[in-house]
Structure 1
Amino acid sequence: MTATTSSKGKAAAKDGLVEMAWDPITRIVGSLGIYTKIDFKNATVAECHSTSSIFRGYSLFMKGKDPRDAHFITSRICGICGDNHATCSCYAQNMAYGVKPPHLGEWIVNLGEAAEYMFDHNIFQENLVGVDYCERMVKETNPSVLAKAENTPAPNAEAHGYKTVADIMRALNPFSGEFYREALQVSRSTREMFCLMEGRHVHPSTLYAGGVGTVATVQLMTDYLTRLMRYVEFMKKVVPMHDDLFDFFYEALPGYENVGLRRTLLGCWGSFQDPEYCNFSYADMTDWGRKMFVTPGVVVDGKLVTNDLVDINLGIRILLGSSYYEDWNDQETFVTHDPLGNPVDRRHPWNQHTNPHPAKRDLEDKYSWVMSPRWFDGKDHLALDTGGGPLARLWSTALSGLVDNGYVKATGHSVQIELPKTALKPPVTFEWKIPKWSNTLERNRARTYFQAYAAACALHFAEKALAEIRAGRTQTWEKFEVPDQAISCGFTEAVRGVLSHHMVIRDGKIANYHPYPPTPWNASPRDSFGTPGPYEDAVQDQPLFEENKGDAFKGIDVMRTVRSFDPCLPCGVHMYLGGGKTLQKLHTPTMATPE
């Protein structure tokens, strides 16, 4: 599916459509709304718009601040992944100040970020996404599927303990399900792991530019490892269980691969620095970026376009289109060339100005506070998505084939994950293979595998940290001075996808600062070329398999698709049926889309 209005969508619009909206849809201040037009006759979504109803303005009040405060301020962008913002901001500061943290400090940052991935992916996948596939939900939306699940043996029952697929679904029932409750307990220990490394969750208290303030001891690492090994054992159950569940949906509902399917346009900015190579210098960013333990990359139609962070940085464009902002064409240009002498585009975050222009929501014009980040490949402004984070991370890492540390290995077509012997289970090798589709089920499956990937990486990081401690190299922070002038950027992966911070310093103060988390990439509205954002594109024209119709319709296939992107923890979902009003649409406006 390309990012245009397909002929199928246009044809459906000539028939009666029912307006249906889910607003709010996420936990992030209830700001995300999904507005659709459902074609019940053909069982498809004829049209989809993704809206955000809140303006936050961090880029405005960052101006004039001491850059050393940037990570403490930007951490508050989100109450879920604030530590990802703090980490990314520290990376940008390290570049601006020309400081290289001690190895031990970076291993501790990696251990904290790994714990965050494990915590957030676990609680989202098992306690929120899992509910969409639980017995109670499937019984209400697809009773025939549940009946089949009751009689379908789980292929990996020996590994996870559930005899049938229906038993897996029952275990996912909220509050009453055995697995649902077990996952809640696991989330507690992973949060403790993060706090051991960075002081508190979700706004770290010991993370700074130049390293960390954590006092590193053997006991600290032991406390982390005891919790990590319990998590490793948990993953030996989770991966095969989810494989059984997601494989079953392909089997039970032929054609379900088209739910949430969009053209493979994936972006990953890389994660987990290797302190033996990373010096945070922009001049060396190509090399140390490729040494990350999650390899950055842009994947187009299944092929790796680049894994060079300099290329990735220079390709970012911020478009407006359907968002509530005025353009900045007549305003100051902060950066004309990067530190390597490459020209920097007017629409790059370094040169962005934020000019809010509130207006009444109009789905044919301006309808969202989210801007439209795109990646320019020299020809097209690509609406990259993050695959919820893990799909892009694993796909890019697999294709690059650069990672091999004894616990995880990228083969060029897959990622192998080695989990060692634990208290009750023998060693296990998992292999995530590049899938046929970038769709709802594969976004969810990748999230499960990346939990195991993060755990395996954490084992490596802990070994490296212990080696530093035992060798007496216990320094975790390096001093620095704030320069009068600097431009810098930080790149990492927030839990749900790409995260970059772009900073300009003048006279020792922040002159321009723009953070770009995964939400604007995934939830962006139609841009100035008319290209839908990833949520819109993935939902629009997708088939509907739910057996309910009319007022009983729950929209489960739409919800599964939006949730598969991990939109900052969906909960508190409210549904609006528009009174069941049927639309008589006389014509369908066309959208200008770049060739």
Structure 2
Amino acid sequence: MAPSTKTAADGSGLTEMSWDPITRIVGSLGIHTKIDFKRKRVAECYSTSSVFRGYSVFMRGKDPRDAHFITSRICGICGDNHATCSVYAQNMAYGVKPPHLAEWIINLGEAAEYMFDHNIFQENLVGVDYCERMVRETNPGVLDLAERTEAPHAAEHGYRTIADIMRSLNPIEGEFYREALAVSRYTREMFCLMEGRHVHPSTLYPGGVGTVASVQLFTDYLSRLMRYVEFMKRVVPLHDDLFDFFYTALPGYEEVGRRRVLLGCWGALNDPDHCDFTYRNMTDWGRRMYVSPGIVVDGKLITNDLTEINLGIRILLGSSYYQDWEGRELFVTHDPLGNPVDPRHPWNQHTIPAPQKRDFDGNYSWVMSPRWFDGTDYLALDTGGGPLARLWSTALNGLVDTGFVKATGHSVIINLPKSMTKPETTFEWKIPQWSNALERNRARTYFQAYMAAMAVYFAEKALEEVRSGRTTTWEKFEVPDQAVGVGFTEAVRGVLSHHMVIRDGKIANYHPYPPTPWNASVRDTLGTPGPYEDAVQNTPIFEENPPENFKGIDIMRAVRSFDPCLPCGVHMYLGDGKTLQKLHVPTGLSGLSG
């Protein structure tokens, strides 16, 4: 959409420009900037969300066994990630360990979700920012160069020039755009084979799954998966060519969307040989995940300990529309290991909405400011759109080695097996120099290949269970009167945790923390901007259009590289039990009363 524009009233000579909405998924994210067109740079940025929801409010008093069915509805895009994370939190609270086969099925379902969602976003949503029509509108000089630039990996993906790649991404008419839409269909089918329904699973429960496991089930999954494997052998080199071109065509483009390396990954895809869902063993089984947890600061792995990660989470109100809960009830004073739990931890959070007029000098969004406290600083972690943090953390950890995927300490090696027309292929994602827009997008492509390779491994493990006669997929449990639970996984866009407190057999407190509150967070109580804001501020402007015809493509690429999606960031609330009732009055009776 065209931005709203006006001259800044502060006499700075800057131009105020706003894009609201900015996302191509849900329209509640606004990006508000002040731009210095003389210096061709963004001077200020504010990220806003205009919608309040409220799962943390209406989850209270509910039966804990309903938690995953309810929280799945937080999002119509990654609802299964919420359901999975909620089930993990319930498994901990109930003290139940699912059968191995159930965990392999969940891993296969989640792998399919990553493949489906990253594909449709990369090719059909963010890919549009790099298509021929967009580049022609914003950087005709770049398109002219693209027409004359041979694609280094043309033999692998089939497009002779960079401009040919760009044309293939044109909405609706582009060949690759349409092909990706077809891929989204069978990847969704893969998910439904494992978890019944997309995007709100119908066969996922604490203690396991209701999926009926058979050789036929996994064969049906594998037949679709190998089509995806074949597809990825073209996609990785295609995007490498496209993103590498922008670095050479526009020197300095590495600064677009760049921020300090402050990445968080909570880990994903449990190993049932090690994961028992107990809090006391969480440090160990967290390190055995097939995506390694970690907090990466300035390129260094600070911790991969889920217990430490959990205790370090802080929810700051910052510039958001809420009242503080200081002085209110603490639900959890110590974790199950006896460690003190901070009042600003999600286990102790109270959500108290305070609607008000937007004020960029005060409060301006419904998104709070999650931070991770390292003992000294409150770090505004981002997820790199999900894949950048996941690959960076996994690479540095050097723990994953399945034969299909190997983390080396400085890279991730991905082995895709032989497919219908292409031989076995190996890709290597190397830790990049920057955390910026292009590398977030590149990581998304490599992580799709990572998930394809891991899904082959998970399917083999599941088939081993079935062929050995171990076909049980669910374990009985009882809901305790008092308990706490936390689930850690990765939603498509990054870190996801569900924090639950049970009292008298009911939910006393429940707080889901998905990637959106981390990425879209606002300036906190210390004045630190959130990741969207930080990534856009100081971003250089390479667009060739004058201010009166400015599209803001570099700003769009910076924000969309995070895969923004706002439903998870904000919540709905009516308050005080109010209900809205719509009555149907039969035709011809509208004038009657009584």
TM > 0.5: yes
Show the counterpart of 2:151: 154
Which of 373, 376, 381 in structure 1 is aligned with 2:378?
A: 381
Map of 2:77 onto structure 1: 80
Q: Which residue of 2 aligns with 1:123?
A: 120
**Aligned partners of 1:120, 1:549: CA distance in 2, in Å?**
35
| Residue in structure 2 matched with residue 97 of structure 1 by the alignment | 94
Which position in structure 2 is the counterpart of 1:358?
355
Q: Please point out which of 543, 553, 556 is paired with 2:553.
A: 556
Kept in 1, the 8 Å contact 2:265–2:393? The answer is yes
Partner of 1:341: 338
Which residue number corresponds to residue 247 of structure 1? 244
Question: Is the CA contact 1:273–1:291 (under 8 Å) kept in the aligned structure 2?
Answer: yes
Correspondence for 1:60 among 53, 57, 61: 57
- From 274, 279, 282, the equivalent of 2:271 is 274
Q: Distance in 2 between matches of 1:276 and 1:137?
A: 49
2:368 touches 2:521 (CA, 8 Å); kept in 1?
yes
Please state if 1:314 is matched with 2:316: no
SS in 1 for 2:71: helix
Deviation digits for residues 382-425 of structure 1 (CA, Å, limit 9, x no counterpart): 00000000000000000000000010000000000000100000
**Aligned residue identity for 2:448:** Q
Checking the alignment, whether the CA contact within 8 Å between 2:48 and 2:522 is kept in structure 1 is: yes
Q: Secondary structure at the match of 2:337?
A: coil
User: SS of the counterpart of 2:280?
Assistant: helix
- 1:521-551 deviation line (CA, Å, top 9, x unaligned): 0000100000000000000111010000222
User: CA separation in 2, counterparts of 1:330 and 1:410?
Assistant: 45
Tell whether 2:287 aligns with 1:290.
yes
**Residues 1:423 and 2:420 are matched in the alignment:** yes
Aligned partner letter, 2:206: A
Q: Contact 1:128–1:569 at 8 Å: present in 2 too? A: no
Counterpart in the other structure of 1:324 = 321
Match of 2:390 in 1: 393
For the pair 1:171 / 2:168, whether they are aligned, the reply is yes
Whole-Å separation in 1 of the counterparts to 2:421 and 2:534: 44
| Cα displacement (A) at 1:437 | 0.1
Cα drift, residue 140 of structure 1: 0.5
Matching residue within 254, 258, 268 for 2:255: 258
Residue from 39, 48, 52 that aligns with 1:51? 48
**What is the CA–CA distance in structure 1 between the aligned matches of 2:566 and 2:281, rounded to whole Å?**
36
1: CA distance, partners of 2:205 / 2:154: 46
The amino acid across from 2:384 in the alignment is: G
Residue 24 of structure 1: CA displacement?
Answer: 1.3
Matched, 1:237 2:247: no
Aligned 1:181-196 pairs, distance under 5 A: 181-196=178-193
Residue 27 to residue 61, structure 1, CA distance change in 2 (3 Å): farther
Q: d(CA) in 2 for partners of 1:425 and 1:303?
A: 37
Shift of 1:569: 8.7
| AA at the equivalent of 1:244 | D
SS across alignment from 1:512: strand
- TM-score (structure 2 length as normaliser): 0.93
- Whether 1:145 aligns to 2:122 is no
Structure 2: distance between partners of 1:497 and 1:29: 17
CA distance in 1, matches of 2:435, 2:220: 38
Which residue number corresponds to residue 33 of structure 2? Answer: 36
Counterpart CA distance in 2 for 1:358 and 1:433 is: 45
1:399-478 matches, within 5 Å, as 399-478=396-475
RMSD after superposition: 1.3
Report the AA paired with residue 118 of structure 2.
H
Secondary structure (helix, strand or coil) at the match of 1:132 reads helix
AA matched with 1:443: R
Q: Is the 8 A contact 2:29 2:566 kept in 1?
A: no
- Cα deviation for residue 26 of structure 1 reads 2.5
**Does the aligned pair in 1 maintain the 2:26–2:566 contact within 8 Å?**
no
With normalisation by structure 1, the TM-score equals 0.93
Q: Which residue of 1 aligns with 2:523?
A: 526
Q: Which residue of 2 aligns with 1:535?
A: 532
**Shift in Å at residue 460 of structure 1?**
0.4
Query: Higher mean Cα deviation, 340-349 or 560-569?
Result: 560-569
8 A Cα contact 1:154 1:244, kept in partner: yes
Corresponding residue for residue 581 of structure 1: none
Question: How many residues were matched structurally?
Answer: 560
Contact persistence 1:27–1:569 (CA under 8 A)? no
3-state SS of paired residue (1:318): strand
Q: Deviations over 1:119-172 (max 9, x none)?
A: 000000000111000000000000000000001110001100111101100100
One-letter amino acid of the counterpart of residue 370, structure 1: V
* Structure 1 contact 28–78 (Cα < 8 Å) conserved: no
Alignment match, 1:203: 200
Equivalent residue in structure 2 for 1:302, among 299, 304, 308: 299
Check whether the contact 1:407–1:417 (CA below 8 A) recurs between aligned residues.
yes
Mapped to 2, the partners of 1:198 and 1:430 lie a distance apart of 30
Amino acid across the alignment from 2:17: M
Per-residue CA distance 1:496-529 (angstroms, 9 max, x = gap) = 0000000000000000000000000000010000
Question: 4+ residue stretches of structure 1 with deviation over 4 A?
Answer: none
Within the candidate set 543, 553, 557, 1:546 is matched to: 543
Structure 1 gap segments, 5+ residues each: 1-12, 571-595
| Identical positions, percent | 81
Residues 207 and 474 in structure 2, CA contact (< 8 A), matched pair in contact too: yes
What's the CA shift string for 1:63-104, capped at 9, x where partnerless?
A: 000000000000000000000000000000000000000000
More off after superposition, 443-452 vs 37-46: 37-46
Q: SS at 1:96's partner residue? A: helix
Displacement of 1:568 = 2.1
More RCO (CA 8 Å, sep 6+): 1
Output aligned runs, 1:474-493, within 5 Å.
474-493=471-490
8 Å contact kept, 1:124–1:569: no
